[in-house]
Amino acid sequence: MSLRDVIVGIIRKEGPIPFSRYMELCLYHPELGYYARPKEKFGKSGDFYTSSDVHAVFGRLLARQFEEMWRELGSPAEIDLIELGPGRGLFAQDVLDWSGKKFPEFAAALRYRLVESSPSLRSRLEQRFASDTRVKVYAELEEAAQECGSALIVFGNEFFDAIPVEIVSEYGELRIGEKNGEFVEVWTEQSRPTTDFLYWYGVNPRPGERVEAPRLANGWMQRIAAAFAERRGFALFIDYGYTREQQVAGRHRDTLMTYREHQTSPNAYEAPGEQDITAHVNFTALQQVAEAGGMTSLGLVTQSSLLLGIGHETEFSDAFEGCVLPQERVKVTLQLKHLISPEGLGESFQALVLARGVEKVELSGVSF
């Protein structure tokens, strides 16, 4: 049975379902969802590239930032790093390798906890880190958090953009129905939680326009803030995203996008379970929810300024280590440029940096 048939069956039984439920089934159905299937998603043979696919320097620079966070916390003997949605674990590998090489004291204190909902990715992670006693894999944030000590870092790269969203237009809130086995869009009255979300953090759609209401992401941020209760530390999230001001200025409206074999399409109904579906992240909402949960926002910066802030003092030596031939340096320079420049990923990604229980702190990542 295909995922399309499964979803059609659900709609026939329950009536039209919210778009977020449709997106949830497409991405996370336990057997047939995009992230549950064993097919490669990441890198050249997959559907999309993330920053860790570009070059290990992404993880190396972030390792430098995590080490600075650890020092800001007074270099505790143990620190837990929870990574949300680690995928195949490339970033974690780069952070662990580089910390071991460059920051041995931090590496000795580090316990790396990977929270991944996809069972197939979890077993890949377990294999990758089988011999590393510092690494543990979990299905749920709370499971990981209860094993953490008093110093904590939570990190996510492209985690929030994979969380299901609601979609709104001038006709109301989107539900997915079916007709003769094909999905059809049905508009229903906008729900109260969605109206509230748009009022506090977003914008209302103009005629002919769609906007997303990423309500479920707020629930995640509440859970993350709760993980910091009785703990000190930092959280850092990097994602495609926007602020409310940017939306008011007319940008980042209708950001839903699908990825399949490096082709993008706004059509989320083409290939359920075979295409990734993402939406940009509402950083205004995440920032405010985090603050309501007791965290302090240290800044929302572009990936460009995050990486420049971390790397400029060492002139990005983290990138060039191991380059022997001039052409190797040229290649790495281009990869670094892709991560940092506005034409590459530098301006489309933003980084939200949060702290808990830390007095006045100046992190290099938010200094540039």
User: Which chain residues interact with ligand SAM by CB under 6 A?
Assistant: 35, 42, 50, 52, 84-87, 91, 115-118, 121, 157-159, 162
- For the CB of residue 357, give the shortest distance to ligand SAM in the complex, in Å: 25
| DSSP-derived 3-state class of residue 349 | strand
Short-list 339, 362, 335, CA closest to 349: 339
Short-list 354, 229, 238, 210, CA closest to 304: 238
* Nearer Cβ to ligand SAM (36/176): 36
**Residue 222: in which H helix or E strand, if any?**
helix 215-227
Short-list 26, 68, 54, CA closest to 270: 26
* Nearer Cβ to ligand SAM (121/301): 121
- For the CB of residue 158, give the shortest distance to ligand SAM in the complex, in Å: 4
- For the CB of residue 86, give the shortest distance to ligand SAM in the complex, in Å: 5
- For the CB of residue 296, give the shortest distance to ligand SAM in the complex, in Å: 24
**365 DSSP assignment:** G
* Nearer Cβ to ligand SAM (110/137): 137
Could you tell me if 197 and 288 are in contact, meaning their C-beta atoms sit under 8 angstroms apart? Answer: no
* Nearer Cβ to ligand SAM (25/186): 25
* Nearer Cβ to ligand SAM (28/171): 28
- For the CB of residue 87, give the shortest distance to ligand SAM in the complex, in Å: 3
- For the CB of residue 162, give the shortest distance to ligand SAM in the complex, in Å: 4
* Nearer Cβ to ligand SAM (75/123): 123
Could you tell me if 65 and 106 are in contact, meaning their C-beta atoms sit under 8 angstroms apart? Answer: no
Short-list 96, 120, 141, CA closest to 34: 120
- For the CB of residue 338, give the shortest distance to ligand SAM in the complex, in Å: 15
* Nearer Cβ to ligand SAM (242/349): 349
Angle at 107 between CA 368 and CA 129, to 5 degrees: 110
Q: Six-digit token pair at 212?
A: 């997303």
Query: 17 vs 22, 26, 183, 256, CA distance in Å?
Result: 7, 13, 11, 18
Exposure string (b/e) for 155-182, b if CB count within 10 Å is 16 or more? bbbbbbbbbbbbbbbeeebbbbebeeee
Which residue's CB comes closest to ligand SAM?
85
Rg (CA), the chain: 21
Q: Report the C-alpha gap between 101 and 277 in whole angstroms.
A: 37
- For the CB of residue 324, give the shortest distance to ligand SAM in the complex, in Å: 28
- For the CB of residue 79, give the shortest distance to ligand SAM in the complex, in Å: 20
* Nearer Cβ to ligand SAM (36/186): 36
Q: Report the C-alpha gap between 348 and 304 in whole angstroms.
A: 9
* Nearer Cβ to ligand SAM (169/278): 278
